[in-house]
Structure 1
Amino acid sequence: MTTSPALSIRPFDASTDTDAVLALWLEAFPEYGDPSRPHRDPRVSIANKLAMQPELFFVALHDRRVVGTVMAGYDGHRGWLYSLAVVREARRLGFGRALVVHAEQALAALGCLKVNLQVLSAKSDIQGFYEAIGYRADAVVSLGKRLETPPLRN
């Protein structure tokens, strides 16, 4: 667990954190509230993460309140970061950076040598955040395909 006088980071606990994480994600990722985008259902994202490497799903707390999240994944080849979010009033206080560092350390402890992430091209402010903490655009094209396989559900 990462701790500072103002912030602590620990693994997600479904019994205490779910409602706060859902509220945060709906604020940070407005597309999560769009019913025409079922692949962005935050409850499904949580359930899927809890089924796969739940120890890499972290929440940041400030005064015992969830103020941020990050999910990480590692497939033995590359690490990935997902769903980095900080509540609006706590942005620019170093909480996002602390979450990224915490996730990077967890990935490194698993033997991960490179971390990837994706940012929507329209979110230049988010790209700037990642560039400020050392991430650079790779010369790759990101391709995706939606599968018809139903998502995991509890």
Structure 2
Amino acid sequence: MTDDIAIRPITDDDVESVVVLWEACGLTRPWNDPRDDIARARGSLEAVILVAERDGEVVGTVMVGHDGHRAWMYYVAVAPALQGTGLGRQLVKAAEVWAAATGMQKMHLLIRPENGKVRGFYESIGYAEQPRVMMAKWLDGRPLDP
């Protein structure tokens, strides 16, 4: 049950717990420093990181931001022991509410192709694949990672 969980913006005291959670959920990659991602989001007026807290412990997160046209959702994480309890749905809903309050009408997210479990989760709450080609480029000139 998730009735005893509060969802609120991240604080300085949460950062290390958030990184540990993201690592436990397999969300980090060697080429992306999660602390840098947290700092950039916290320094933006167009983004927020929400944490789910239970008994003083960070047990979930969602990062949501917008580019002035669309909202984007990242780092949706639920502590492994709480997966399947509805907390992920609560976090996504909180992100959607935040995005709508900023005037955004559409939410986007990216899923790695091999992550079928996560794809199933998003499909179960109304998200669907839209055929698009995503292209990327590292601005420092390094080659793209898989």
TM-score after normalising by structure 1: 0.85
Deviations 1:66-96 (A, max 9, x none): 0011000112210000111111111111111
Residue 10 of structure 2 corresponds to 12
Structure-2 residue corresponding to 1:152 = none
SS of residue paired to 1:131? helix
Cα displacement (A) at 1:29: 2.2
Q: Measure the CA separation in 2 of the matches of 1:70 and 1:30.
A: 12
Please state how far the C-alpha of 1:22 moved relative to its aligned partner: 1.1
Aligned counterpart, 1:110: 102
Instruction: Classify 1:61/1:31 alpha carbon distance in 2 versus 1 (closer, same or farther; 3 Å).
Output: closer
2:93 to 65, 87, 101: 101
Q: After TM superposition, give the deviation of residue 64 of structure 1 in Å.
A: 2.2
Judging changes above 3 Å, is the alpha-carbon distance between structure 1 residues 147 and 138 closer, same or farther for their aligned structure 2 residues? same
- Give the number of the structure whose residues are more often helix, by fraction: 1
Q: How many residues align?
A: 140
Report percent identity of matched pairs: 37
Match of residue 81 from structure 1? 73
Q: Which amino acid aligns with 2:22?
A: W
Aligned counterparts of 1:83 and 1:53: Cα–Cα separation in 2: 18
1:63-82 equivalent positions in 2, closer than 5 A: 63-82=55-74
Partner secondary structure for residue 83 of structure 1: strand
Distance 1:45 1:111 in 2: 23
The residue identity in structure 2 corresponding to 1:8 is A
Partner of 2:20: 23
Distance in 2 (alpha carbons) for counterparts of 1:44 and 1:144: 19
Q: Describe how 1:37-48 pairs up with structure 2 within 5 A.
A: 37=31, 40-48=32-40
What's the Cα RMSD here?
1.7
Deviation of 1:24 (Å): 0.4
Structure 1 consecutive aligned stretches of length 4 or more whose deviation exceeds 3 Å? none
* 1:35-57, Cα deviation, whole Å (9 max, x unpaired): xx2xx111111111112137621
Q: Alignment partner of 2:113: what SS?
A: coil
Correspondence for 1:53:
45
TM-superposed deviation, 1:130 = 0.4
